[in-house]
Chain A
Amino acid sequence: MSEMPLLQVKNLHTSFFTDAGEVKAVNGISYNLDAGKVLGIVGESGSGKSVSAYSVLRILTDTGRVKEGEVLFKGENILKYSEQQMQKFRGSRISIIFQDPMTCLNPTFSIGSQLREAIRIHTDRNKEEIQARALEMLQLVGVNEPEKRLKQYPHELSGGMRQRVMIAMALACEPDILIADEPTTALDVTIQAQILELMQDLQRKLGMAIIMITHDLGVIADMCDEIIVMYGGKVCERGTADEIFYNPRHEYTKGLIRSIPRISEKHEKLIPISGSPVDLLNLPKGCAFAARCDHAMKICLEQPPEEVRVNDFHIAACWNNVKQMMDEAKDGEET
C-alpha cells in the first residue's frame, strides 16, 4: 500500500434528478485500482454498477449528478477538472466500451472516420500516421480485412466486429484504464468468449488496468484480480475471485452464485433470487437487499450493514456475516 493506486474512488454518491424524484443510483462506493490489475464489478441491472463507471468519466446524462465523493486519478481529483480538461482526459487516460455495440457507433459515419477521430483528438499526428494507426488498431483487435472495414458503415458489420471496433477506438490512445461496461452482454455466447479472450490478450500486451462491469459472475471469474459485488448502489462484498466464489459472506452474493448453472451437478435445480430489484426512488433505511433476503433479520430492516473484514482478502457488508463471526468468536471462547 505504499505506492499510490492508479485510481481511487472514495465514497461516491450519484443521483438522477427526475420528475418522479431523486433516484439514488450510487450510494457511497469506494474502491482502488492498481496499474495493470483487473477489477470486476458485479450486480444486477439497477445496482449502480454502470452509473458508478459513468461518474468516473463524467458522462452522465443531464439529469445525473455526482453529489459527493472523490475520484482520484494518480492522486488528482478529476471530479474537480474543468470540462476542457475532462475532454483531454477521456479516451486518453481512461477509455470505456459499452454494452450494445449495435447502437454505440454513429450510424452516419464510416468506421474509419470514427476511429480516426478518436486518434486525432489526443495526438498531433498527421493524416497518414492517423490512417496507419487506425489500420494498426483494427489489426490488433483482430478485425479481418481492416482496410475494407475502414470504409464501411457500422450497420454493415456484425455485432462482434463492432465490439472489436469499439475496443480499437478505446485503446487507440493507449489509456491507463479501460472500463468495459458489460462488453459481452449483447453478443452471442461464442462471440462473448472471443471478445473476453481478446481483452485478456490485449491487457497482457498493453498492460492497462481494466474495470470489468457485468451482471454475470461466471463471465469474469478467471480474469479479475478483485471482485466487487454491488446491490442498490452499495458494495455488498469485495475480495479476490476465489474468496467471493468459495467463501461468499453476503446473502446476495450467495444467491448470485446459486443462480449460476453448473455442468458438474446434473440434477441440481437453479435457485433464482426471488422478488424484484430495490426501488432507487425510495431506498429502505436498512439493508437494501433485506426484502428479498431469505435470512433477513430484524436488524437488517433497521440499520444498514457496515463493511466488515472477513480476512485479509475479503470484506463483506452483511449482518448475517456479522452474526456468523460473532457465533464463531463465541464458540472460540467456550472451547
Chain B
Amino acid sequence: MSDYNPNIPPKKRPFSLQLDPAKFEPATDEEKAQQEVMRESTTFFRDGMRKLFHNPLAVGSMIVLLVILVTIVIAPLIVPYSYSGMITVDGKRDKSAKNLPPFTYSKLEQQAIDNGETVFPHIFGTDELCRDYFIRVIYGARVSLSVGFFASLIVLIIGLLYGSIAGYAGGRTDLIMMRIVDIIYSLPDTLMVILLSVVLDQLLGQSLQNTALASIGPNMLSMFAVFGLLYWVGMARLVRGQILSIKNNEYVLAAQAMGAKPGRIIRRHILPNCMSVIIISTALQIPSAIFTESFLSFIGLGVQAPMPSLGSLANSARQALQAYPYKMIFPAVGICLIVLSFNLLGDGLRDAFDPKLRK
C-alpha cells in the first residue's frame, strides 16, 4: 500500500490557513439548534386542505359548483315564471311567446312593456310550449344535481354498511357476501339500469298514483332504486378492501399490542384512514350518477314530464336542432360544466387526501 496516493492532494497544511483560535471554542446547543431548519409539521387533514386550496383546478371547480348551487337555489325565487306553465301576461296565457330567442319579448309582452309594465326578461328564451327556458334549465340542473347527490348517498350508505360488515366479519360470511357482490359486479350495469327502469316505470307508475311520491315521478324513483340495487357494489368492494388492508396493517397491530380497545382502533386508525378514499369515491360517484340520469332521460326513461332534467331538455332540443341550436347548448353546457367540476374536484381531493399518493 506504500504507493497509495490520495487523489486531489490539497497542499494546504493547517498552518497556512488564517484562523482565529477563538472560533475553535465548542459550540452551544442553541447555536447548533439554529442550524437545523425544521420543516413545519402539519396534521394529515390540514396538509390535505392546504394542498387542495393550492390546486387551482380544484378551487375553480369548487367556485363553479358554488355558483351553480347558489343560482339554482335563488333563481326560482327571483324569476317570476314556472317551469311547467305557459307564460302569462296580465293573467292571460301568452300563445305568441313560442320559441323566442334569448332576451326577446313576445308581442303581448311588448305591448305590456309599452304600457309601462316591467316584464322579466327570458334569459334563455322560451320553448315550443311557451315556457320560460331559463327556469326550465334551472330546474333541470336542480333535478340532475339532486339525482346525483341522492344516488351517491344511497350508494354510500348501502356500500358502507355492506362492505364494513363483510370486512369486519371476515371468514365465511365475508366469502358469501363478496360472491354476491362479484355476481352483481359482473352484470353490465347500464343495460340493467335500462331494463329495470323500463320495468319499474311500468310497475310503479300505477301503484304510485294519488300518493305523495307521484310528483317525483316513477322514473325518478326507479332510478334511485336502480342505484340502490346495482351501483353500491363498487363502494362495498372499496370499503371492504380498505378495512381489510388497514386491519392487517402493522400500526393497527401495534396499537392492539399496546392494549388499545377496539373502539379506539376503529376511531383512531381505521376510520381516518379509509374515510378519505370513501369521500373521494363518493365525490366521483356524483358525476357518474348525473351521467346515467342524463343518458336515461335522453333515451326516454328519465324524469316525468313536465319536470325537466338537463338530459331530457337536451333530448327534446334535438327535434328542432337546426332551428333552435341554443336550446341544445344551454342544457349541454350545464351537464358538461357540472360533470367536469365534480371530476376535477374529485381529482383534487384524491391528490390532496389519498394516502397512497402521498410521499
- Bound complex: CA A293 to CA B14 (Å): 21
**Could you tell me if A309 and B9 are in contact, using CB atoms closer than 8 angstroms?**
yes
- In the complex, A306 Cα to B13 Cα: how many Å? 11
Determine which residue in A284, A299, A319 has the highest number of CB atoms from chain B within 10 A of its CB, and name it: A299
Q: Does A245 contact B (CB under 8 A)?
A: no
Instruction: Name the prevailing secondary structure of the A interface residues.
Output: mixed
B12 proximity list for chain A (CB < 8 A): 306, 308-309
For A298, give its contact among B9, B11, B27 (CB under 8 Å): B27
Q: Which of A8, A239, A291, A313 contacts B35 (CB 8 A)?
A: A291
**B10 contacts A300, C-beta separation under 8 Å:** no
Whether the Cβ atoms of B19 and A301 lie closer than 8 Å is no
Given contacts A290-B32, A297-B25, A301-B31, whether A279 and B37 have CB atoms under 8 Å apart is yes
Q: How far is the CB of A238 from chain B (nearest CB, A)?
A: 6
Q: Does B36 contact A (CB under 8 A)?
A: yes
- Interface 1/0s, chain A 1-43, versus B by CB < 8 A? 1000100101000000000000000000011100000000000
Contact pattern, B 183-204, Cβ under 8 Å of A = 1, otherwise 0: 0000000000000000000000
Residues A319 and B32 in contact, CB atoms below 8 Å apart:
no
* B7 on interface, CB distance cutoff 8 Å: yes
Say yes or no: A32 contacts B8, CB within 8 Å: yes
User: Is the C-beta of A117 less than 8 angstroms from some C-beta in chain B?
Assistant: no
**Would you call B23 an interface residue if the criterion is a C-beta within 8 Å of the partner chain's C-beta atoms?**
yes
Bound form: Cα–Cα A125–B14 in Å: 57
Cβ–Cβ < 8 Å partners of B15 in chain A: 326, 329
- Smallest Cβ distance from B26 to chain A, in angstroms? 6
Are A30's CB and B7's CB within 8 A? yes
Q: A322–B19 contact, CB under 8 A?
A: yes
CB pair A308–B35 under 8 Å, yes or no, is no
Count of A residues near B, CB < 8 Å?
A: 44
Residue among B5, B7, B20, B27 making CB contact with A301, cutoff 8 Å: B27
How far is it, in angstroms, between the C-alpha of A240 and the C-alpha of B31 when the chains are bound? Answer: 34
Among A282, A291, A297, A325, the residue within 8 A (CB) of B33 is A291
B20's nearest neighbour on chain A, judged by CB, is A299
Q: For the complex, is B17 an interface residue (Cβ under 8 Å from A)?
A: yes
Q: Is the CB of B4 within 8 A of A226?
A: yes
Cβ B7 vs Cβ A302 within 8 A:
no
Give Cα A51–Cα B2 distance, bound, in whole angstroms: 31
Which residue, of B8, B20, B34, has the highest number of chain A Cβ atoms within 10 A? B8
Does B171 sit at the interface, judged by CB under 8 A?
A: no
B16 closest partner in A (C-beta) = A308
Q: Which residues of A pack against B, CB within 8 Å?
A: 1, 5, 8, 10, 30-32, 225-226, 238-240, 242, 275, 279, 282, 284, 286, 290-291, 293, 295-303, 306-309, 312-315, 319, 322-323, 325-326, 329
**A/B interface sample: 28 pairs, CB < 8 A:** A5-B7, A8-B7, A10-B8, A30-B8, A31-B8, A32-B8, A225-B4, A226-B4, A275-B36, A279-B39, A290-B35, A291-B35, A295-B26, A297-B23, A298-B25, A303-B23, A307-B8, A307-B10, A309-B9, A309-B10, A312-B4, A313-B1, A314-B6, A315-B6, A315-B9, A323-B24, A325-B14, A326-B14
Which 3 A-B pairs have CB atoms at the shortest separation, nearest pair first?
A32-B7, A299-B23, A291-B35
